[in-house]
């Protein structure tokens, strides 16, 4: 697929992300302090770098699992339809679950995933999202931890892609197209 030319404007530096991840991990470690039953569930693929950094800052015994749901495909518009492409490997019944998401945009993806996970009767379940676009929300999501609230821009980097590119950027940036008429 050919892409229109674009540049990526830095929104959140790698240093700011690292500081925020450390702070989130402290809060999460305190919150789940009383348990040895924690499973961190990452939503693939956008959360893979966030989850890797976050779990290394957690001061807790922790298991890691992944689930993949379809949302955007390669387009920049959210589809309202959500499918599970890859399910968890492990059981979460009677476990403490921390669901880790890259971005909460309309909220439909996460809402659907949480509904599925709830049917498996975790002991408790909380959400940590790196980014949130509050102005885009179409359904209520109870996320206990949010890294950064951002404006309605299409962002990439730190695990988050545009058409599978830019996941390896160390910072979070916003895509800006450089050709007006094409």
Residue ranges in 44-63 that form contacts with ligand 5GP under rule CB under 6 A: 46
> Minimum distance from CB of 40 to Mg ion (Å)?
15
Nearer to ligand 5GP, 96 or 105 (CB): 105
Any idea which residues carry the catalytic annotation? 105
Asked if residue 71 binds ligand 5GP (CB under 6 A), the reply is yes
Pair of tokens at residue 142: 């109870």
d(CA 9, CA 115): 35
Nearer to ligand 5GP, 62 or 155 (CB): 155
d(CA 159, CA 100): 13
> Minimum distance from CB of 35 to ligand 5GP (Å)?
26
Omega before residue 2 within 30° of 0, cis? no
Angle formed by the axes of helices 14-31 and 48-57, nearest 10°: 60
Site string for Mg ion, 135-174 (x = CB under 5 A): --------------------------x-------------
Type and span of the H or E element at 15: helix 14-31
Asked if residue 68 binds ligand 5GP (CB under 6 A), the reply is no
Pair of tokens at residue 160: 């988050």
């Amino acid at each position: 697929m050919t892409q229109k030319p674009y540049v990526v404007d830095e929104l959140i530096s790698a240093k700011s992300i690292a500081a925020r991840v450390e702070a989130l991990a402290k809060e999460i470690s305190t919150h789940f302090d009383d348990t040895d039953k924690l499973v961190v569930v990452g939503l693939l693929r956008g959360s893979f770098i966030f989850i890797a950094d976050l779990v290394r800052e957690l001061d807790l015994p922790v298991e890691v699992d992944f689930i993949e749901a379809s949302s955007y495909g390669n387009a920049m518009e959210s589809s309202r339809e959500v499918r599970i492409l890859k399910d968890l490997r492990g059981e979460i019944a009677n476990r403490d679950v921390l669901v880790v998401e890259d971005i909460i945009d309309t909220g439909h993806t996460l809402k659907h995933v949480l509904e599925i996970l709830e049917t498996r009767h975790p002991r408790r379940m909380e959400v940590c999202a790196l980014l949130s676009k509050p102005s885009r929300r179409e359904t209520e999501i109870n996320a206990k931890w949010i890294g950064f609230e951002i404006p309605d821009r299409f962002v990439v980097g730190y695990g988050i892609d545009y058409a599978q590119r830019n996941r390896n950027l160390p910072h979070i940036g916003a895509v800006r197209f450089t050709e007006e008429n094409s």
